[in-house]
Amino acid sequence: MTQADGFDPDSVPFERGHYIGGKVVDDAGEHLTVARPSDLIPYADLPQGTADTVDRAVASARHALDSSGWGRQAPRERARAMRRWADLIEKHQEELGKLEALGSTRPISQAVGGDVASVAEGIRFFSEWADKLGGDVAATRSNDLGMILSEPYGVVGAITPWNFPLSMASWKAGPALAAGNAIVLKPSELTPFSTVRLAQLAVEAGIPAGIFNVVHGSGPVTGEAISRHPGIAKVSFTGSTRTGVAVMKAAAESGVKPVTLELGGKSPQLVFADADLERAADCIAGSMLANAGQACVAGSRLIVERSAEEPLVRLLRQKLAGAAAGHTWKASTNYAPIISETQARRIDRILRDSLAQGAECIIGGQRIDGYGGAYYQPTLLTNVDAATAAVREEIFGPVLTIQAFDTEEEGLALADHPEYGLAAGVYTRDLGRAMRAMRAIQAGTVWINRYSRTLDFILPTGGYKSSGIGKDLGRQAVEQNLRHKTVLLNIGADMPAR
């Protein structure tokens, strides 16, 4: 295989253990088998971290904080170390991209120039906050001085999903470290290895060993141990709403820890007939094709003004034809596999239920065979309503439902989902209508005449309703890694007025 074709998946080296205190360590106990999503061939064993492993990682993080002064040292030193980390990520862009493509659903064509490049830039963004986090002086009586100090939590925990492993790890570690915390992070057991390399590069860049620890294992064992550990002061989680509830419960029961939860979505794409339909179709198809719909913000419900339905579907049919499925290590692949057979069966089940409820499939609807893994055709369903399984449930696959409306009010009502409120797209040339929709839609992000994140990391992401609590990215993500201490100092007699 030449460089132009992609890379040989058997040629990519990686560490198989946990990463604790700057060292790769394995556990003698139980191991999980990890398969390549592209062809579902098992390729490595993964140590199943226990409560004991999490304990060791927390102790190492605590020791690193106490001995290195990471949270207390000159903030510009912290910023400089994080900038060196970002530079090293860029230097290892190719290597990290291959590791990500091998072990996740991210095609190499997107992993190197897209995901890894954005991880480096995101770490740089967070580094810039390190020396801008002082606190406030409050307006108090003049014989007192009132201060509100921003302080790191100490050791924070994070649990990440499988859909964008490196990006998700950087969204958790970046703000946590910039704020002066140490982190114990559990990546998804389906996509564990790239995160360890990210943590190793942090140590190579001069971030003290033990400030970024990675513990592997399954959710109910290792994830639960992180959520419950008394030495972890705060937990940040991205994943399903069901698991988010479990994390929140465990955190509440073990010391009332604050949680940041980035959870599921069922995001609407609201298209008015006056919109630039070509552009809208590009954005809608782009969102379906991106990671084959396996993104929390996937715009999976198309809600279109009736007169634009037919031309928009025609355009979508053309745009979706550009999906090139294949192994993630092939350079020509731009369309991802489904992460696992379990996830593909979930898509099958929701489709079957929807068809039984009267939905009609007008594009796709089948698996794509021939690659060994689970691949799914981009799929469009019509004849659906609010009760249809595919409209109600987060699918996490390339499935778009279509509902038509006649009035703005009706369109906005359809856009509202009873449970989720993560993101929404609005397409119209009418500025007043765009603003009314922006105000009415109950979602953490509203994109207008576009549908994707950019490299503007200052824009936070997170949900309304059951889509989550708190934000990733932005100033908000850094602030959520800080707690506030009130100090009131008596400075003597009232100052005479001058």
The residues that are catalytic are: 262
The CA–CA distances, whole Å, from 16 to 25, 48, 213, 378 equal 8, 11, 14, 34
Whole-number Å distance between alpha carbons of 404 and 271: 9
Burial group, residue 432, by CB count within 10 angstroms (0-12, 13-18, 19+): exposed
Q: DSSP readout, 226-256?
A: HHH-TT--EEEEES-HHHHHHHHHHHHHTT-
Check binding of 346 to ligand TXE (CB under 6 A).
yes
**Unique residue bearing structure tokens 């100490």:** 154
Torsion of CA 338, 240, 162, 165, to 10 degrees: 140
**Both tokens of residue 222?**
């290792």
Whole-number Å distance between alpha carbons of 424 and 284: 11
**Shortest approach of ligand TXE to residue 345 CB, angstroms?**
11
- Binding segment (CB under 6 A) for ligand TXE, from list 212-220, 318-326, 370-378, 399-407: 212-220
Whole-number Å distance between alpha carbons of 140 and 290: 52
Check binding of 227 to ligand TXE (CB under 6 A).
yes
Whole-number Å distance between alpha carbons of 330 and 2: 10
Whole-number Å distance between alpha carbons of 55 and 69: 21
Given the complex with ligand TXE, which of 239 and 444 has the nearer CB atom?
239
Interaction mask 364-403, ligand TXE, x per CB under 6 A: ------------------------------x-x-------
Given the complex with ligand TXE, which of 38 and 227 has the nearer CB atom?
227
- Binding segment (CB under 6 A) for ligand TXE, from list 5-13, 122-130, 147-155, 215-223: 215-223
Q: Which residue is nearest to ligand TXE (CB)?
A: 219
Check binding of 341 to ligand TXE (CB under 6 A).
no
Interaction mask 232-271, ligand TXE, x per CB under 6 A: ------xxx--x--xx--------------xxx-------
**Shortest approach of ligand TXE to residue 404 CB, angstroms?**
26
Given the complex with ligand TXE, which of 11 and 33 has the nearer CB atom?
33
Interaction mask 141-170, ligand TXE, x per CB under 6 A: ------------------xxxxx-------
Are the CB atoms for 179 and 478 separated by under 8 Å?
A: yes
Given the complex with ligand TXE, which of 304 and 351 has the nearer CB atom?
351
**Interface ranges with ligand TXE (CB under 6 A):** 159-163, 186, 188-189, 218-220, 223-224, 227, 238-240, 243, 246-247, 262-264, 296, 343, 346, 394, 396
